């Protein structure tokens, strides 16, 4: 049954995606690629969510094996293993502890990636937010308590989602304008949305190259190079002396 409902569709969709001249499929981030069947249509792709455990274990496992076997992605099996672990962990972790563990680990098990993007990780915690972060999370993240424990607005929004699900995020976003007014920091108008960015539709349709794995790995590489450079300075006495001079 699994071979017909999970593995066969996964192979067919994988073959169609890899037959395209555009490398949109290779550029998909691991979370999108291995938790959905991705079907390219023009410059967009449709996402059909896979069953959490069986779909990712059997369907995505086959896709990752094929990606690594033909040289599409040398890290495919490693990325797939992370996604499978992320899929089963929420069912193991108590709801009350899930958001706390994600904050401490700086990793979203639901999305299968770092909670705070690498592009923001070097910023002070109160400035670790993006255009989707709620104003109430920004306000709370700017308090002395949050700054003392380095709890970012992104992490606070994750707590809101973890404890109150979509209703919590809906209320938080509805309060954006009044909270921004009280803070005296007018929230910039959000750009007009394309049809595929609308609520509900946006969960199933994405623009090609929107969630870029290439970009994620660039930031990973940049972070590793920074760590290596700092380690080299620490281990090299001459570099320390030159830096003091």
pLDDT tens-digit map of 16-48: 998 887 788 888 888 889 999 999 888 888 999
pLDDT band of residue 77 (cuts 50, 70, 90) is very high
pLDDT at 136 over 90: yes
If phi > 0 it is left, if psi is from -120 to 50 it is alpha, else beta; for residue 191 that is beta
Q: How far apart are CA 216 and CA 118, in angstroms?
A: 8
pLDDT band of residue 194 (cuts 50, 70, 90) is low
* Main-chain dihedrals φ then ψ at residue 142, nearest 5 degrees: -95, 5
What is the maximum alpha-carbon separation in the chain?
70
Helix or strand holding residue 47 (H, E): strand 44-49
The whole-chain average pLDDT of the chain stands at 82
| pLDDT, tens only, 81-117 | 988 887 787 666 666 688 888 899 888 876 767 888 8
Q: Identify the three-state secondary structure at position 70.
A: coil
Q: How far apart are CA 146 and CA 153, in angstroms?
A: 9
User: How is residue 234 written in tokens?
Assistant: 């620490």
Greater confidence, 74 or 201?
A: 74
DSSP for 127-145 reads G---TTS-HHHHHHHTSHH
Q: How far apart are CA 91 and CA 69, in angstroms?
A: 31
pLDDT band of residue 66 (cuts 50, 70, 90) is very high
Half-sphere exposure of 171 (CA within 13 A, CB side): 7
This prediction's pTM? 0.62
What's the rounded mean pLDDT across residues 174-190? 76
User: How is residue 169 written in tokens?
Assistant: 């995020």
């Amino acid at each position: 049954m699994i071979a017909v409902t999970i593995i066969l569709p996964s192979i067919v969709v994988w073959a169609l995606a890899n037959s395209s001249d555009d490398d949109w499929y290779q550029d998909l981030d691991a979370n999108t690629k291995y938790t959905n069947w991705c079907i390219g249509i023009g410059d967009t792709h449709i996402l059909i969510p896979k069953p959490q455990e069986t779909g990712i274990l059997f369907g995505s496992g086959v896709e990752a094996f094929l990606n690594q076997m033909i040289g599409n992605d040398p890290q495919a099996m490693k990325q797939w293993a992370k996604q499978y672990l992320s899929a089963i962990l929420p069912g193991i972790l108590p709801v009350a502890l899930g958001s706390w563990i994600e904050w401490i680990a700086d990793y979203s098990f639901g999305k299968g990636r770092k909670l705070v993007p690498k592009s923001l990780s070097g910023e002070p915690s109160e400035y670790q937010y993006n255009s989707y972060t709620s104003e109430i999370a920004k306000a709370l993240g700017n308090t002395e308590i949050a700054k003392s424990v380095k709890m970012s607005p992104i992490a606070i929004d994750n707590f809101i989602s973890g404890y109150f699900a979509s209703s919590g995020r809906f209320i938080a976003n509805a309060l954006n304008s009044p909270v921004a007014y009280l803070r005296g920091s007018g929230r910039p108008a959000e750009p007009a949305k394309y049809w595929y960015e609308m609520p509900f539709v946006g969960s199933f349709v994405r623009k090609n190259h929107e969630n870029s794995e290439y970009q994620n790995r660039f930031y990973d590489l940049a972070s590793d190079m920074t760590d290596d450079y700092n380690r080299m300075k620490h281990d090299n006495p001459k570099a320390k002396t030159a830096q003091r001079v």
